[in-house]
Structure 1
Amino acid sequence: MKIGLLQCDDVAQPLIERHGSYPDMIQTLLRSVDPEVELQVFACHEGRIPDRTDGFDGWLTTGSKYGANDDADWIASLERFIRTLWQAHQPLVGICFGHQLMAKALGGRVERSVNGWGLGAYPVTLSQQEPWMSPWDSPTLELLASHQDQVAELPPQGRILAHSGFCPIYMMQVGDVFLGIQGHPEFSRAYLEDLLELRRTGVSAERILAARHSLRQPVNDLLVGRWILNFIRSRCGAATAP
């Protein structure tokens, strides 16, 4: 399987030596499920937007410190490319910022959460079971999170797959080929722990403490990594991940 990775940010410089880049994290996650997955990285945040949609089984968009509503040329260009993928019926999975930009590009709405920062691990409820959600362990899901914005209104053809009181549109499917996930299956606990330390000046001490405490909980990172590959394979006609 060959996936085009739409990179939307860099890991903060103090953390990159220990934790690697966002493409490194994505590759580690996906190759833990399927060692033969191949990624081609496009540094969209540096203005390097793909000029074609063919040659890939699917696409994946990373998270970012930027917001989907930010006024930046590369974000507008990436929105246009997302619409091109939609028109070409190419599978796309968006993570965090990628989930939000997918919604905005297709006519949904993204807003700053009135609940403040979503940090650490928090449980969400799966609204329905899809064929690509295999294996199915539980009607609840838990991933690491780090976000202020979230999808406030689905785009046309969108439907909610997972939700919580904190984040009502946590996972969505748009049509047959787009999947958005607010959480970060690629993050490690160690990375989020260090990221929380960097964010001490912008987040309340109570929220940081609660996020640190939540990191003791098990998360479904590998399960969601498997679901991502299953989703893309099911859209390009291949079998689900072993």
Structure 2
Amino acid sequence: MVEKRFAMLLCAEDPEYVKKKYGGYFGVFLRMLGEEGEIWDSYRVAAGHFPNDADIGLYEGFVVSGSCSDAHSDDPWICRLLLLLKKLNGLKKKVLGICFGHQVLCRALGGKTGRALSGWDIGIRTIHVSPASKVFSSLKIPSMLSVIECHRDEVQELPSKAEVIGWSEKTGIEIFKYGDHMMGIQGHPEYTMDILFHLIDRLVQRNFIMETYGKELKAKVEEGEPNREAWKKLCINFLKGTSLINKL
């Protein structure tokens, strides 16, 4: 039996804390998406490590991670990533984009990204999902899902033929799908509350947000909990076509 193979395109450096506790962001994603009998490879695309053209055919699907970089910038590695995503689209490969990955996937398909007019979104956000989309209806996903968010950029314009299947009061395009092979999620279904608290501390240390605001965020976050299991099943079903009906 041939083992299914997937590729993680890592777009950020691992903080020491995440590296020690989770084995880096690759380890965080494996906890959410990895299953027995699979092979997962990682490519640190932000450091210029990309899969060769000959290797692309080995993979059933690709996951594009979050990043501290801007998806609308023209850094050499981002331009190279855009070319890879366009190639994967042409090959109809499954691609799941998370946060920065959601934004850069949109850009690669012809959409537009940029700074969110409403500013940072940090914490737990309620996402309204489209009941008409078969992505959710086949899995009997609830009409509202909570997810961890940590971003200040957003998708501003979808590529033609793309479909909005999730939105929030803060962000108009929280989830989109393009055909049956590409999907972007603005939030972080892979994050734990522990990682979110660590990121809030880092944002304060780097003067991206005020210390008082960081304390307010932590207090507010403690009142809620993301629907991590539902997101996990949604992402696995999209990437692998696994039948999860009636399991939510």
With normalisation by structure 2, the TM-score equals 0.88
- State the match for 2:214 in structure 1: 208
Aligned-residue identity in percent: 24
State the number of aligned residues: 236
Alpha-carbon offset, residue 217 of structure 1: 1.0
Tell me, in whole angstroms, the C-alpha distance in 2 between the residues paired with 1:229 and 1:137. 13
Q: Deviations over 1:14-60 (max 9, x none)?
A: 543234311110001113xx334431111101111112321111111
Alpha-carbon offset, residue 10 of structure 1: 1.5
- State the match for 2:100 in structure 1: 97
Q: Secondary structure at the residue paired with 1:100?
A: helix
- State the match for 2:113 in structure 1: 110
Gaps of 5+ in 1: none
Alignment partner for residue 230 of structure 1, among 230, 237, 241? 237
Q: Secondary structure at the residue paired with 2:234?
A: helix
4+ residue stretches of structure 1 with deviation over 3 A?
A: 34-37, 129-135, 204-207
**Following superposition of structure 1 onto structure 2, how do residues 71-82 of structure 1 map, counting pairs within 5 Å?**
71-82=74-85
1:83 partnered with 2:86: yes
Tell me, in whole angstroms, the C-alpha distance in 1 between the residues paired with 2:236 and 2:190. 13
With normalisation by structure 1, the TM-score equals 0.91
CA RMSD in angstroms, aligned pairs only: 1.8
- State the match for 1:8 in structure 2: 11
- State the match for 1:146 in structure 2: 150
Q: Deviations over 1:182-222 (max 9, x none)?
A: 01111110111011111112213454244311243121222
Q: Secondary structure at the residue paired with 2:156?
A: strand
**Following superposition of structure 1 onto structure 2, how do residues 1-242 of structure 1 map, counting pairs within 5 Å?**
1-31=4-34, 34-52=35-53, 53-133=56-136, 135-200=139-204, 201-205=207-211, 207-212=213-218, 213-234=220-241, 239-241=242-244
Higher RCO, Cα 8 Å, sep 6+: 1
Gaps of 5+ in 2: none
